Chain A
Amino acid sequence: MKNEFIKNWDTQLKKGLLPFFVLKALEAKECYGYELIQTLKDTFGIDITESTIYPLLVRLMKENLLVHKWVEQTSGIPRKYYFISAEGKANLAEMKQTIEEVIIKIKGQ
């Protein structure tokens, strides 16, 4: 059973890593918003809401890390698919390296 401090730390850690997880998920496959939330939950065990993912996706788009495309559906409600851009891939590689460095330091202790 995690104590309150660890729970908060865990939440903050996952929050900080969220852009990384989003880019990682989109590197594997383009997704629309709802699908991305499910992917993050299934693949990384991160449970986030639409109120978190939507502004984050806008921020990542603004920083040119993602691109999007609206895809019409038979329902008449189109889906907005997000793709990782070349700049996004380059940033993801740097983020991976930083995380690996941190892990090496932690293991070295």
Chain B
Amino acid sequence: MKPIEFKNQASQRVYNDYMNRCKRVIKILSDSDQQECLMEVNSYIYEYVNNHQHEEELTALLNIIERLGAPEVTLKEVVASKKINQAVRTFNLKHLIQALSLNLRNGIAYIILFIMTLTLLCFPVVIIMEILNPVKTGLWVGKGHFVFGQVLPQAGVNEVLGNFFIPVVIVLGILLYLLIIFLLKLVKSKKS
């Protein structure tokens, strides 16, 4: 992106500061999305200042910055929307968590998906528990119990997966992850 060059040094500093604020807000996006956002903000600033040459440069710049608003507010929806695209495109867990947390206020579907993702994060914990304490960890069934994790040994409650526990947890984790991505794609297409 080509930065705008101002005649006035103060204008340049104000512009640089605003663009740096924008960069901070969008830094969780992919490089191409960041570039697109910055180019668009840059274009709004350039066109406004260029069309208000009857005003002082700094005044015009301050006016357009006021019209654009705080990047933290104006770019919030843009970032949330682009992050969802990135999450479904890359299948990256980090992007998925970021996308869902940014969209929590956009509907109950995102809250449910976020809870499902938090559940998914428990799966590696269960695997570590199984490695550290295999006697107490597993899928426990019996006497009104159906526990996936750790229980205190009780009569009539048995662990049913044995050595298959870790492979089953891994497979379930992968399936849950694919389900979350599928549902996210579905929610995204339903919303549009």
Which A residues have a C-beta under 8 Å from some C-beta of B? 32-35, 49-51, 54-55, 58-59, 62-64, 70, 75-80
The chain A residue sitting closest to B39, CB to CB, is A78
Query: Is B2 among interface residues, defined by CB-CB distance under 8 A?
Result: yes
Which B residues have a C-beta under 8 Å from some C-beta of A? 2, 4, 39-44, 46-48, 50-51, 64, 67-69, 73-74, 76-78, 81, 191-192
- Of the candidates B2, B50, B67, B73, the one having the most CB atoms from chain A within 10 angstroms of its own CB is B67
Bound Cα distance A80, B35 (Å): 13
How many inter-chain residue pairs (CB < 8 Å) link A and B? 64
| The 8 A-B residue pairs with the shortest CB-CB distance in the complex, in nearest-first order | A51-B69, A34-B47, A49-B67, A77-B46, A63-B192, A55-B77, A76-B2, A51-B74
The contact of B74 among A33, A54, A77, A78, by CB within 8 Å, is: A54
The contact of A58 among B46, B48, B69, B78, by CB within 8 Å, is: B78
B44/A77 in contact, CB under 8 A: no
Bound Cα distance A59, B84 (Å): 13
The contact of A77 among B42, B69, B78, B191, by CB within 8 Å, is: B42
Q: How many whole Å from B187's CB to the nearest CB in chain A?
A: 12
B43/A80 in contact, CB under 8 A: yes
Bound Cα distance A49, B73 (Å): 14
